[in-house]
Amino acid sequence: MNNRDVYGRTSNDLFLRLSNVADGYETIPQAVEDILDIQNSPAISMGPFLISSGQTSLLTTISVYSERGTSAEQVRLLYMNPAALSVWRAMGKPTSAIGSQKRPPKTALLAYGVPFSE
């Protein structure tokens, strides 16, 4: 049985292509209501969560950048790598991504964790 599509690609090809995107940064928007709660700031809430959950080893893998948004629905944009995004989800925070990219924009500032590196 042939497991290739009409272009000769296998499901592994698709997986590798998708996993490369997953290695980048997801863009998480925060609205006015979100930023009014200080616990929705990764710099304030992630550290205590990692300590209380016994996951401090993740501190060296988390990378979160922040940038000012352009609307009330997107007052702040967070750019999270996969480790940061999984912690944010475990914290019960909203994680509806509006985009993804290999690295955060050069205009974004490191908000928490380690800087981007290739």
Tens digit of pLDDT at every position of the chain (118 positions): 555 555 555 555 444 444 444 579 999 999 999 999 999 999 999 999 999 999 999 999 999 999 999 999 999 999 999 999 999 999 999 989 999 999 999 999 999 999 987 6
The pTM assigned to this predicted structure is 0.79
**3-class SS at 110?**
strand
Residues contacting 2, CB < 8 A, separation 6+: none
Q: How far are the Cα atoms of 68, 78, 113 from residue 58, in angstroms, in the given order? A: 26, 18, 9
